[in-house]
Amino acid sequence: MFCPQCGASTPDNAVVCMQCGRNLQAAPPPPLQATPYQGAPLQAPGVILPPGATVPNYLVFAILTTVFCCLPAGIPAIVFAAQVNGKLQAGDLAGAQQASKNAKLWCLISLGLGLAVVVIWGLLVLAGVLTGISHQN
Amino acid sequence: METRNRRRLLTALFGAGAVGVILRVFDPATSRIFPPCPVWYLTGWYCPGCGSLRAIHQLLHGNLQAAWAMNPLTVILLPFICYGLVSHAVIAIRGQGNGLPRLFLPAVWIRALCALIVLYGIARNLPFYPFDLLAPGAMLRL
């Protein structure tokens, strides 16, 4: 199948276009007579994305927090980012959204730990400076 | 553009600018305003990100070679990270689907990248040639 927005060729079961990120599930349905019985719909009932929406995988932020904040918490974020894309490729929209939430959660945990270290260090530096000043007097 | 997105974007731009100025003015290799990496502080190991700030400081001064010596993986990944951040910003300004072409990495690639980061972290702690060259700054002593 081809993306209605950018025309890129995408796998038939793709949820989003691999090129431009357009949500292919919200594309206008093909004429009924062309697809009479194709089994269960890919999309779980009740899961409807607004047109053009995508499932973010937070990969960029996962790499950033892994490299700059906290390695142990960043690794799960990257693993969940991989899961998002893997599930999108498999057509599992609900699973991709769950993995997306987990990826975001681990990015935030990693960011929080990194910021905590920066804040603690800042307080230590401040304490050191104040001690230095009081010793000079 | 939504007000919320505009506020987020301005915050992000301001943050990035401030970080850039701090990293250009102060060299993390000599300045003490930067906290030590907790991984290095607690274990003495070089994590995959070790040397990233020193590498970015060198890049901001145009010294690609010194940046590469500090952390080659960071130098390789930075263009992708920048592209990702810029495309997020463009989407925030122009709306979904009107931005830059999105990089969709197949899950296998992301897992490979994850493995690369972990293996790189192990390799740069090995004390023998050629892996010891991956330790931050080691290539400067060649």
Q: How confident is the model over B76-115, as pLDDT tens digits?
A: 999 988 888 888 788 777 776 666 776 778 889 999 999 9
Give the start-to-end residue ranges of the domains of chain A. Answer: 1-29, 55-136
Q: What's the pLDDT at A45?
A: 36
Three-class DSSP category at A2 = strand
Which tops the pLDDT comparison, A66 or A22?
A: A66
Q: Is residue B119's pLDDT more than 90?
A: yes
What ipTM describes this predicted complex?
0.78
Average pLDDT of chain A? 74
Cα–Cα distance list, B13 to B74, B86, B108 (Å):
21, 10, 32
Q: How confident is the model over A45-75, as pLDDT tens digits?
A: 334 444 455 788 888 888 888 877 667 788 8
Bridge partners of residue A9, in order along the sequence: A2
| Contact: A66, B48; criterion CB under 8 Å | yes
Cα–Cα distance list, A61 to A64, A110, B5, B22, B75 (Å):
5, 10, 17, 21, 16
Q: How confident is the model over B29-64, as pLDDT tens digits?
A: 888 788 888 788 888 888 888 889 999 999 999 999
- Cβ of residue B118 closer than 8 Å to a chain A Cβ: yes
Pair of tokens at residue B50: 């070790």
Which tops the pLDDT comparison, A112 or A34?
A: A112
Residue count of chain B, please give it: 142
Cα–Cα distance list, A77 to A61, A73, A93, B18 (Å):
9, 7, 19, 26
> How close is the nearest chain A Cα to the Cα of B50, in Å?
8
Closest Cβ–Cβ partner in A19, A22, A71 for B48: A71
- Nearest CA to B102 out of A58, A21, A100 is that of A21
Three-class DSSP category at A23 = strand
Report the share of chain A in percent with pLDDT over 70: 63
The label of the residue with tokens 């927005």 reads A5
